[in-house]
């Protein structure tokens, strides 16, 4: 069974939850930018959390189902359609053989996620099927989808039509804002910034520049004053906010480099990275709110606890 690509969309890649454990070798985590949306989509179609799906950016692909399948689309609202008829988001949908999956256009958010029962079974690379575009590996030949591609789907059991119509609880469906305020823990090099620099960063609104991508979000706004333009290169975690000499912050995203030499003023908390991933380059604006490590840990445990509890109930 496979999905045949008729049109690849603007940027559609195979992603799972990434390949942890290789950053020491210069290989980033990669994986879904909005990992929460992908996990919900996988659960809706009965896949394990780490199954590979499609990350769809801004303009969706057109796919033909070569066999009956069960799919779910979560994340950004790109007007999900089957055979030209709009389908509900955040719900499992049965697709007949020969039907065409398409997207009518963006309404909200930046990245949608399509999961199909059985998962997309491209060959894993370093334990993950995620596409790492700069390295040209993972996913489908290390690149975005294009017409003529065929995406192999893993085996499924049970009667697929009976599993259509499943929905997550409302608290797992996020409400996005075109100007979100995301929480960030100051540091690890916040001592390299004078008080006025920290006040500027946490008190200003920044525009997400059009040149932003899966590697990082480049922001534009009031320059952040710093005492040092560079530091000795050290590890860079997801969500790290680096400040280069021009004072315009850079937020590291899924495909970010593993080390960097610009001082890091803060790190966006894991619980808010999905919200940041849905910001649209060239349109969205973002603010930052300082929180403690304890608050960051609590927010992540609360989010993942609710998600995992629902995943367990669906598996029973």
Whose CA is closest to 8, among 55, 48, 63, 46? 63
Cα–Cα distance, 41 to 110 (Å, whole number): 16
Taking only the tens place, the pLDDT of each residue in 240-258 is 999 999 999 999 999 999 9
Cα–Cα distance, 225 to 239 (Å, whole number): 20
In this model, does residue 229 exceed pLDDT 90? no
Q: Give 316's pLDDT tier (boundaries 50, 70, 90).
A: low
Which residues, including other chains, have CB under 8 Å from residue 244's CB and lie 6 or more apart?
A: 229, 250, 262
Q: Give 158's pLDDT tier (boundaries 50, 70, 90).
A: confident
In the chain, pLDDT over 70 holds for what percent of residues? 99
pTM summary value: 0.96
**Domains of the chain as residue ranges with CATH:** 2-173 (no CATH), 181-305 (2.40.100.10)
Chain position carrying tokens 């559609």: 12
Please list, residue by residue across 51-66, b when 16 or more beta carbons sit within 10 angstroms of its beta carbon and e when fewer do: bbbbbbbbbbbbbbbe
In this model, does residue 315 exceed pLDDT 70? no
Taking only the tens place, the pLDDT of each residue in 88-113 is 999 999 999 999 999 999 999 999 99
Report DSSP state, residue 196.
H
Taking only the tens place, the pLDDT of each residue in 27-67 is 999 999 999 999 999 999 999 999 999 999 999 999 999 99
């Amino acid at each position: 069974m496979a999905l045949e690509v008729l049109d690849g969309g603007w940027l559609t890649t195979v992603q799972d939850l990434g390949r942890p454990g290789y950053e020491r070798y210069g290989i980033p985590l990669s994986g879904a930018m909005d990992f929460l949306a992908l996990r919900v989509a996988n659960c809706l179609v009965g896949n394990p959390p780490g199954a590979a799906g499609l990350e769809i950016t801004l303009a969706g692909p057109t796919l033909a189902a070569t066999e009956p399948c069960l799919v779910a689309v979560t994340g950004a609202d790109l007007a999900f359609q089957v055979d030209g008829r709009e389908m509900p988001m955040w719900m499992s949908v049965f697709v007949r053989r020969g039907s065409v999956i398409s997207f009518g256009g963006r309404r909200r958010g930046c990245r949608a996620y399509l999961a199909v029962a059985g998962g997309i079974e491209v060959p894993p690379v370093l334990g993950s099927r995620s596409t790492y575009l700069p390295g040209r590996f993972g996913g489908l030949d290390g690149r975005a989808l294009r017409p003529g591609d065929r995406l192999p789907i893993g085996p499924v059991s049970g009667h697929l039509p009976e599993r259509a119509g499943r929905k997550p609880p409302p608290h797992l469906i996020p409400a996005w804002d075109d100007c979100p305020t995301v929480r960030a823990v100051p540091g690890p090099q916040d001592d390299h910034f004078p008080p006025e620099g920290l006040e500027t960063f946490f008190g200003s609104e920044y525009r997400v520049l059009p040149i932003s991508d899966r590697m990082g979000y480049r922001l534009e706004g009031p320059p952040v004053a710093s005492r040092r333009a560079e530091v000795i290169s050290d590890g860079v975690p997801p969500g790290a906010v680096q400040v280069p000499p021009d004072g315009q912050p850079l937020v590291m995203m899924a495909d970010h480099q593993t080390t960097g030499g610009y001082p890091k003023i803060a790190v966006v908390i894991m619980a808010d990275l999905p919200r940041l991933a849905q910001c649209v380059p060239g349109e969205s604006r973002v603010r930052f709110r300082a929180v403690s490590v304890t608050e960051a840990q609590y927010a992540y445990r609360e989010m993942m606890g609710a998600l995992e509890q629902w995943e367990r109930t669906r598996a029973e």
